[in-house]
Amino acid sequence: MNKTNPGIFFEDFRLGQEIEHATPRTVTEGDVSLYTSLYGMRFPVNSADTFAMDMGFEAAPVDDLLVFHVVFGKTVPDISLNAVANLGYAMGEFANPVYPGDTLRAVSKVIGLKENSNGKTGVVWVHTVGLNQRDEPVLGYVRWVMVNKKDPSAPAPETVVPDLDVDAGSLELTAPESIDCTAYDFGLAGSSHTWDDYEVGERIDHVDGMTIEEAEHQIATRLYQNTAKVHFDQFVADAGRFKRRLIYGGHIISLARGLSFNGLGNAFKLVTINGGTHANPTFAGDTVYAWSEVLGSREVSGRKDVGAIRLRTVAVKNRPAADFPYKGDDGKYDPSVVLDFDYTVLMPRRG
């Protein structure tokens, strides 16, 4: 009897399949410190208990993207151990805040399947929910991933492509009732810009760049218990398209979020992931820059102290972002673009 886990290959997925992922994870202050050291996060609500408690949090909450990565990592042995690449995200919603000491687990449901024309791979869509130790949701999202077939001659599952055309502007955005931004300390936050200062269509060059080192991206991916071979196994990579290990796409998301502090320093909480695409691969040695565009600005129901801003953050490699590289006239991403991330944040309002 084979006692090791080979992962699920594309032909073995079934529409409606429900998977309870193994290895619950208790998030610790050590995880938070390592996450900060990897990405240089400076958002004060995640950095200081005093700042967070003045806003109504129990303590400094765990960074929303660290929560995302931990939940995502739970799913990898079942969903993407045999992945070629993670392709995108949609319909993400952050729910209850997570604090050090909370334990997270994940469950997923297969909502779409489509074999690729080469007959060797297929795309799998899953809806994943992260839960804490009280079975309260902390995060839910859809992602789609390209997965290898074990046997190219095996019959493909039934093709179903889910409808993910959700207008983020129609979502009812809320802020936790316990959170109060009326006493938000802009001096300690390091930025004076409020929700009122951002205009739809405005583009912000985040200026700073960060070079990816081989060791740090592997440490980061291990931190999330993400076991995908494409990130770790150079022997396997030698037989692949790029001959190199791929950087985990979530590593790029967190790098871009960290860089975005310079220009979006008061975007203190993610509330939705509206969509996301890993447009081109990244490798160790690449230097990542980022820029953001304001896609929308909305009031939060019943609140005068906090507003919501929808952002597109674009990460590029090996070139500054000052000229805002994105897509060409042919509609294809510029070769330097490695991430196109559409999300909504909360930001304090003036007065």
* Average pLDDT estimate for 317-336: 95
| Residue 26 within a domain | yes
In sign, the C-alpha dihedral spanning 131, 132, 134, 138 is negative
Q: Is 59 a residue whose pLDDT tops 70?
A: yes
Rounded Cα gap, residues 151 and 174, in angstroms: 47
Rounded Cα gap, residues 227 and 231, in angstroms: 8
Q: Residue 276 in contact with residue 90, Cβ under 8 Å? A: yes
Q: Which residue has the higher pLDDT, 84 or 10?
A: 10
Rounded Cα gap, residues 4 and 27, in angstroms: 27
Q: Which residue has the higher pLDDT, 7 or 125?
A: 125
Chain-centroid distance, C-alpha 336: 19
Token match 């005068």: residue?
304
Q: Is 224 a residue whose pLDDT tops 60?
A: yes
| Residue 316 within a domain | yes
pLDDT tens readout for residues 262-295: 999 999 999 999 998 999 999 999 999 999 999 9
Three-class DSSP category at 211: strand
DSSP string, 305-326: SEEEEEEEEEEEESS-STT---
CA angle in degrees (0–180, nearest 5) for 336-342-344: 145
Q: Is 80 a residue whose pLDDT tops 90?
A: no
Range of the domain at 197: 10-150+174-348
The tokens of 173 are what?
């955005």
The tokens of 40 are what?
């240089």
* Average pLDDT estimate for 298-302: 88
Crossing angle for the helix pair 249-259 and 29-39, nearest 10 degrees? 80
Beta bridge partners of 261: none
* Average pLDDT estimate for 25-31: 97
- 106 φ/ψ angles, rounded to the nearest 5 degrees: -140, 145
| Residue 2 within a domain | no
Return the DSSP state at 202. -
| Residue 155 within a domain | no
In sign, the C-alpha dihedral spanning 197, 198, 202, 204 is positive
| Residue 48 within a domain | yes
Token match 């055309």: residue?
165
The tokens of 5 are what?
């886990």
**Number of folded domains that form the chain:** 1
Q: Residue 300 in contact with residue 312, Cβ under 8 Å? A: no
For position 26, what pLDDT does the model report?
98
For position 236, what pLDDT does the model report?
85
Give 69-82 as a 3 state SS string. HHHHHHHHHHHCCC
**CATH number of the domain bearing residue 140:** 3.10.129.10
For position 179, what pLDDT does the model report?
87
The tokens of 111 are what?
């909502």
| Residue 89 within a domain | yes
Short-list 93, 86, 88, 97, CA closest to 273: 93
| pTM strictly above 0.75 | yes
Rounded Cα gap, residues 84 and 102, in angstroms: 32
To the nearest 10°, report the CA torsion of 183, 188, 189, 193. Answer: 70
| Residue 163 within a domain | no
Residue 296's contacts (CB-CB under 8 Å, 6 or more residues apart) are: 168, 169, 200, 309, 310
| Residue 329 within a domain | yes
To the nearest 10°, report the CA torsion of 209, 27, 111, 145. Answer: 40
Q: Which residue has the higher pLDDT, 178 or 162?
A: 162
Continuous segment of H or E residues that includes residue 288: strand 287-299
